[in-house]
Amino acid sequence: MTSFVFITGGVVSSLGKGITSACLGAILEARGLSISMIKLDPYINVDPGTMSPFQHGEVFVTHDGTETDLDLGHYERFVRTAKGGRNSNFTTGRIYETVIAKERRGDYLGATVQVIPHITDEIKRSIMKGAGDADICLVEIGGTVGDIESLPFLEAIRQMSVDHGHDRVVYVHLTLVPYIATSAEIKTKPTQHSVKELRSIGIQPDILVCRSEKPLPDEQRKKIALFTNVREDAVISAYDVDDLYKIPTIMHKQGLDDIVARQLRLDLPAADLSEWDSIVEAKQNWQTEVNVALVGKYVDLRDSYISLREALLHGGIHTRTRVNVHYFDAEQIEEQGDGCLHGMDGIVVPGGFGDRGIEGMIQTVRYVRENNVPYLGICLGMQVAVIEAARNLAGLDGAMSTEFDKNTPHPVIALITEWQTQSGSVEQRDEQSDLGGTMRLGAQAISLAKGSLAATNYGKTSIEERHRHRYEVNNNYRARLEAAGMRFSGTSVDDLVEMVEIADHPWFLASQFHPEFTSNPRDGHPLFIGFITAARQHHEGAVLRVAEA
């Protein structure tokens, strides 16, 4: 029988509810429990798939192809048993969409449809679907207590305690305990008011996780416990650390998992956090460091590339390499040239949509190809690699993707319907431009060519990776591109291009899929481990050349 832990947030947003939830899940998993994790988002969008990365950050894609909140990426990086999917992320929009569809079908038998009980009942049904048969389901409620948007979700989780009994439900509330530098004081009042707001809704938190710059002193811990009716040992200090992967051990040492187990009346073995300790130890004992450039469209909001950044760091953990990630706006390279990339040991071009900065990305690919800098292209990063090769190796002037130029003379990247019926005429491509626009989403099987760099890095020729894109490499140009030196080293079961390489380059790999979504700190990912290894070799070669000079 599944038990539930509900994680809410107060005072301000972006305190780290996702990280807190993921770390608690990691500790409970380390005590032998199976974990499922759900994110409830108050926004009215049905899912984050159409939201701007500048507003929402990364869209994380699950194995089954669901576009979800970035916190699901945290969950999968920390908790092996928490494999997200369609029932792991519910928004206000999706809940209302379901309820309205039921009303239109007559499922409510003519009743007046209301927030209580219809919306709250649908939220509870969604939670039960997402919980599955896990021992514990952790449910994070997005937003901040006091926001009007989150009230139905809070009412629903309040009812869960009544429905299932309080010995199957734990409420964790994350708050901010600010430090006022001018008076050198730690202020507990915001936490007190946040708990007061939560209690007015009918929820008494069992555990408080208090975010602060420094560890919470005993005096403030006692004060918070007294004014919030929470046990003193259940006031957890979540202070700033220099490494996210230290947090499971920090929380375990404060007894967070013991409090949850006590509330749920669970007799559990001791937590084995040796893997997390090994990760922290590896990051404290680097053998060398490399500088990696990330050339993208959304670099002003680093959360737009959070899984990619973490995957690069995971590659560093498994090669004992400090990875310094430098962010460059593709438009900057387009306008100012590639000078800013000089001195980089490896370059990554990630996914993205729209034509902004595309020429800067193409220029970046030419730079890495001509200067033998290790390159990892992901999704759009593979497509611009194909465009660059078409222009500068195969001599196809004006080559482009039809996503950015419908009138290109050489549509080396296009919708499947555009090149499957290709007659070479711009008119026919225009007629087909609105067809075949469905996203290719989720995990799909891929075959790797024997002896390729891709197969060497994976150590096998059959893999499965997650996708999120519409446009594909135009198979009508593959022969000309191969003759010019590009190798198509990975293909799907229906012969779509999945990976490309440059034959005479020391390490040039690009994938149509998103390998960052399956990387985690304990296991890493073969592409990122291989890329960082190549960046190390490039760095060591550069150091040697400088020394010889």
Of the candidates 173, 514, 525, 538, the residue annotated as catalytic is 514
Neighbour count for residue 329 (Cβ, 10 Å): 19
Residue 190 CB partners (closer than 8 Å, separation 6+): 10, 11, 175, 176, 177, 178
What is the pairing mode between strands 185-186 and 472-473? unpaired
Provide the token pair at 348.
């990554």
Evaluate whether 412 touches 481 at the Cβ level (below 8 Å): yes
417 CB-contact burial (10 Å; exposed 0-12 / middle 13-18 / buried 19+): middle
Beta bridge partners of 286: none
Place 545 in a pLDDT band, splitting at 50, 70 and 90.
low
| C-beta of residue 68 within 8 angstroms of C-beta of residue 76 | no
Distances (CA, A) of 50 to 40, 44, 57, 71, 72: 17, 12, 11, 17, 17
Count of other CB atoms within 10 angstroms of residue 289 = 14
DSSP designation for 115: I
| 416-460 pLDDT, tens digit each | 887 776 644 433 434 344 333 478 999 999 999 999 999 999 999
Query: What is d(CA 465, CA 472) in angstroms, rounded to the nearest whole number?
Result: 16
Domain residue spans of the chain: 3-278, 286-542
More confident residue, 328 or 13: 328
Q: Does the structure show a pLDDT above 50 at 330?
A: yes
Per the listing, tokens 């135009």 go with 474
For the record, the structure tokens of 326 come out as 């430098």
Look at residue 299 and tell me whether its pLDDT is greater than 90.
no
Question: Where residue 353 falls among pLDDT bands split at 50, 70, 90?
Answer: confident
Whether 516 is a known active-site residue: answer yes
Q: What is the mean pLDDT of residues 332-340?
A: 93
Per-residue pLDDT at 476 exceeds 90: yes
Active-site residue flag, 314: no
Question: Which residues are 179's β-sheet partners?
Answer: 186
- Whether domain 3-278 has CATH 3.40.50.300: the reply is yes
Q: Mapping DSSP to helix (H, G, I), strand (E, B) and coil, where does residue 104 land?
A: helix
Alpha-carbon separation of residue 473 from 460, 488, 499 (angstroms): 23, 10, 10
Question: Which of 144-148, 406-410, 420-424, 530-534 has the lowest average pLDDT?
Answer: 420-424
Comparing CA positions, the residue from 543, 479, 511 lying closest to residue 377 is: 511
Residue 193 is a catalytic residue = no
Q: Do 3-278 and 286-542 fold alike per CATH?
A: yes
Q: In the CATH hierarchy, which fold is given to the domain comprising 286-542?
A: Rossmann fold (3.40.50)
Give the percent of the chain with pLDDT over 90: 84
- State the catalytic residue, choosing from 516, 525, 538, 539: 516
Tens-place pLDDT, residues 146-189: 899 999 999 999 999 999 999 999 999 999 999 888 888 899 99
Length of the chain: 549
Which member of 74, 137, 379, 403 is catalytic? 379
Residue 499 has pLDDT above 80, yes or no: yes
How large is the average pLDDT for residues 42-49?
Answer: 87
Residue pLDDT, tens place only, 84-142: 899 999 999 999 999 999 999 999 998 999 999 999 999 999 999 999 999 999 999 99
